[in-house]
Chains A and B, each alone.
Chain A
Amino acid sequence: MAERQVISVPLLHEEAVRFTHRSGLRVHLIPKEFSTTYVSLGVAFGSLDICIPGSPDILLPAGTAHYLEHKMFDMPDGTDALDLFAALGANANAFTANEYTAYVFYSNERFEECLQALLRFVTTPHFSQQAYAKEKGIIAQEIAAYEDDPSAALYMRTISALYPTHPIRNDICGTRESISQISPALLKAAYEYYYTPSNMVLTVVGRYDEQAITEILDCVLPRESSPAPLRRLPVVECGSPSADNLYRMDIVCPRFSIGYRDAVQNQSKLNDRRGYALDIACAALFSRTGDLYRTLYRKGLIGRDFSAVYEWSWGCGHLLISSESERPEDAVAYLRDYLMQIGEHMPSEEDFLRVRNAVYADTVRVFDSPEDIAAADVEQAMCAGDFFAHPDLIRSLTYPYFCETLQSMFTQGQSACVILKPEV
């Protein structure tokens, strides 16, 4: 076991224990006095992992990580791993993100048996032809559900327009065409490359016995010679965005989305200082506290759902602004003009400090939910970040840095716009 570290945030009275197990698995333990213990096992294999490196590389169709997540629950004896958790009185689930796949359970009792079950099923692959074929239809229906959802459709079309060549443009589930190219052999190959203990992070939040956890890990996981970094592919080119895009759908109200690509956030590690500065920018510029919202709302150009968000993923970052609108073209034109002259609309230092405190409070509130803590911890660990460091990082942000970041976002970044309108 590599050195055991105790990380603390004195301001919040929070701490975590971190160590690397002899198998290479990174372990994060976060004690909390909740009745539920929440566990997340993150595997550094997400929708952005589009190949298995080798000679030659094996290309993975869009949706491979997600397909593998669905099939991991099949056990060799024909049972479903979810049954094990249900029998133990726990809830289990899994999801695939751009950068990773997470297997989670939460239990009120028999925590150790549940942990053992989690580790066993993630380390016991079983890819039968019959079960594999059955899943294809189910995933096709999952894809269709997202395609019919106007909000999800608007989001995916904006991302696709922003990134013509980056794999983030693909839906995490893939498409009907791409999943038809996935075979049991391909899933097995992806599993063998990515599903190793040294490519995983285990986060436990709640009440636990550290000694018992270590004994379970010793019992279930193999010993690896040396810890290894998470397996990450090189950053991919993003391509030139397609500026204006109109789609029609069976909807009642038109909606629009504008995406600005972040020219600076293009590395494999999140610049979380910049990320938080742009989170503050979203709240300061686009929320109900700002003049922009009031002006657009009074002109009837946006609805109450008007929102802006900054997102980061592997090698790319973007700021998305979206809303319902009866006049989407006018709303887009107004916003583009406004943001092109961002220097004239820079939030004041007073605004910056007020919003910075609010964003700080949001990160503090994460500690109120075992589920949110586990999700934030795994997500950050997968992106080489540390969410325990975030409250201090936000406190240290300065107004000049904020202005500089905001200026660079809208003057250097490339943009794309998508308008969804009712069918004619």
Chain B
Amino acid sequence: MQPIVHTVNDRLKLHFLRDTRFKSEILSLHYLVPFVPQEASLYYMLPHVLQSGSAHYPSEQMIARELEELYGADILHRIVRRGNMIEIVFTLDMLSADYTLDKSDPWERGAAILYDLIYCPLFVCGAFRGDTVKREATELSRNIRDSRSYKDILALDTARKLVCGDTLYAKPLMGTSKEAKAATPEALTRVYHDFIRQANVQVWYAGNRAEQTVLAFARQLALLHPCTPLHLPNAAPLLPPLSRVRKRTEKVSARQSQLVIAYRMPLSVDSLYWETVLLFNAVLSSSPLARLFRVVREQQSLCYSCNADLDTVAGILYIIAGVEPGKEVETAAAIRNVVQSLAHSDVTEEELSSAKNTVRHYLLSATDEQSAYEDFYFNMLFRGRSPDISVILNNIDKLKKEDVLHFGGHLREAAQVIIAAGGGQNG
């Protein structure tokens, strides 16, 4: 299962996957642009503003109705950090013409709406409308402030800031509430023009449509992006050298405490690095046979959830647990023991085999979901890796327990965050 790749020009590629198993078609536009910390809020707002009205569909209501007419087609967007860049993805998900009740084909109108939203924005005197920008700025500012309401998010965010210090990576993807509020139509319009001018564009299609139809659409887009050399994400280490373990405890009104221990992981361009990370994670946390689940939850009953979250570009491993108040220190010690055991003691053959099965299963399952496979494919692409699953599975098979122990031996604790539940009206 491999898409056919067409290089339309230096700035734009089409990845075409013919797959007749699904009843939907997916057309995604992936835009890579440099991450500018002081403009994070503007970039975050941009897709929202674009989706709130365009030249031909001047209101959000009109866009929603047009899409609903096409058997509930949907245009979604997401923003992902890719090293020193960000990726903004717009996805059009629509029912295939084979399954509409009247056999109408949503493609032409759907693709036209997607094109219109991104390339024909609703400008007044050359800029986005003031009221639209103000509304979206208020919404984003509120969302940024409200993220504190979710204690697990608060704990992870605090840990990320501690580990990343003053670097680019410390800056939240959404920016700050203050920056969001300060957004102006002029600033957002400038960012929009920069976005179109600089973006590296990757078009993704999965479905049963003829290749030439999608290629014609990609060629139309390519005309709007002048040719300049590609610039893919920078995989170089982004974080400063580790100095000391940074710790923070914050008391909140809640029933459960949140504990995060963050480790710096080794970064490497080694061809098997990504596979090693996947396998290490499987031994540590991503299956019921994994050590965190078995030891911290099942043997010591210290928490309901204890999971790892990996940032493989920056090289950070976060372990997060929801803990009974008063057991934070005990749980932190148990987690440290588990991580140390993966550096200094042994990994059994049974654990290794189970972890390899987990990774194998994860990779094969990704091919059964349209969005999961697209995510996997672009994760590989932006890592400069082949997205061929059989190659990755072969590489996983080659890894030995010494590789897992070697990787574990290079983890360095960087931060500990405790969001401690302590009284209050919800405590």
Contacts and interface: CB of A to CB of B under 8 A. Distances in A.
Interface of A: 11-12, 32-36, 80, 82-83, 85-92, 106-108, 134-135, 137-142, 144-145, 147-150, 248-253, 283, 287-291, 293-294, 297-298, 300, 303-304, 324, 326, 354-355, 357-362, 364-365, 367-370, 395, 423
Given A33-B21, A367-B23, A250 B426 contact: yes
Contacts of B61: 288-291, 293-294
Interface in B288-320: 288-289, 297-298, 301, 303-305
A361 to B, nearest CB: 4
Nearest to B282: A86
Contacts of B101: 357, 360, 395
A144 B289 contact: no
B288 A83 contact: yes
B68 A355 contact: yes
A129 B293 CA distance: 21
B222 interface: no
Given A145-B322, A250-B149, A252-B149, A354 B365 contact: no
Given A35-B365, A35-B367, A367-B23, A148 B256 contact: yes
Contact of A108 (B24, B254, B365): B365
Contacts of B255: 144, 147-148
B95 to A, nearest CB: 5
Interface in B219-265: 252-256
A360 B72 CA distance: 9
A423 B361 contact: no
B333 to A, nearest CB: 17
B166 interface: no
Interface stretch (B83-91, B192-200, B352-360, B410-418): B352-360
B151 interface: yes
Contacts of A369: 368-369
A362 B93 CA distance: 11
Nearest to A81: B288
Contacts of B24: 365, 368
Question: 4 closest pairs, A vs B, by CB?
Answer: A358-B72, A89-B357, A82-B288, A144-B256
A135 B298 CA distance: 9
Contacts of B288: 80, 82-83, 85-86, 92
B148 interface: yes
B301 A138 contact: yes
Interface of B: 21-24, 59-61, 64-65, 68-69, 71-72, 95, 99-101, 135, 138-139, 142-143, 145-146, 148-151, 252-256, 287-289, 297-298, 301, 303-305, 322-324, 350, 353-354, 357-358, 360-361, 364-365, 367-370, 421, 424-426
B107 to A, nearest CB: 14
A345 to B, nearest CB: 15
A86 B64 contact: no
A250 B142 contact: no
Contacts, number: 183
- Is chain A's interface secondary structure helix, strand, loop, or mixed overall? helix
Contact of A134 (B150, B301, B322, B426): B301
B304 A141 contact: yes
Contacts of A80: 288, 298
A6 B135 CA distance: 54
A395 to B, nearest CB: 7
Contact of B60 (A108, A294, A365): A294
B426 A138 contact: no
8 contacts: A35-B368, A89-B360, A145-B256, A148-B151, A252-B148, A326-B142, A365-B23, A365-B24
A298 B139 CA distance: 12
Contacts of A145: 256, 304-305, 322
Contacts of A324: 142, 146
A139 B304 contact: yes
B253 A423 contact: yes
Contacts of A142: 304-305
A361 B98 CA distance: 12
Contacts of A361: 71-72, 95, 99-100
A177 to B, nearest CB: 14
B71 A253 contact: no
A252 B324 CA distance: 23
Contact of B297 (A138, A290, A358): A138
Contact of A147 (B99, B150, B426): B426
Nearest to B177: A252
| Most-contacted residue by chain A among B68, B253, B303 (CB, 10 A) | B68
A171 to B, nearest CB: 13
B149 A36 contact: no
Contacts of B350: 87
B150 A149 contact: yes
Given A86-B289, A145-B322, A294-B61, A357 B354 contact: no
Given A86-B288, A252-B148, A368-B370, A138 B95 contact: no
A287 B369 CA distance: 26
B364 A36 contact: yes
A360 B150 CA distance: 35
A248 B253 CA distance: 11
Contacts of A148: 151, 254-256, 421, 426
Contact of B304 (A138, A291, A357): A138
Given A86-B289, A298-B135, 5 more contacts: A12-B99, A91-B358, A253-B149, A289-B65, A361-B100
Contact of A250 (B100, B143, B253, B365): B253
A404 B83 CA distance: 55
Contacts of B304: 138-139, 141-142, 145
Given A83-B288, A252-B149, A365-B95, A358 B71 contact: yes
Nearest to B72: A358
B149 A251 contact: yes
A354 B68 contact: yes
Most central of B72, B139, B303 by chain A CB within 10 Å: B72
Nearest to A138: B304
Contacts of A355: 68
Contact of B72 (A90, A253, A300, A357): A357
Given A141-B304, A252-B145, A364-B23, A289 B68 contact: yes
Given A147-B255, A250-B254, A289 B142 contact: no
Nearest to B63: A288
Nearest to B71: A361
Contacts of B357: 86-90
A149 B424 CA distance: 15
Nearest to A87: B354
B412 to A, nearest CB: 29
Contact of B425 (A86, A140, A287, A423): A423
Contacts of B150: 149-150
Contact of B23 (A91, A290, A368): A368
A398 B145 CA distance: 45
Contacts of A360: 71, 101
A423 B423 CA distance: 12
Nearest to B151: A148
A254 to B, nearest CB: 10
B392 to A, nearest CB: 14
Contacts of A106: 361, 365
Nearest to B93: A365
A367 B96 CA distance: 13
A298 to B, nearest CB: 8
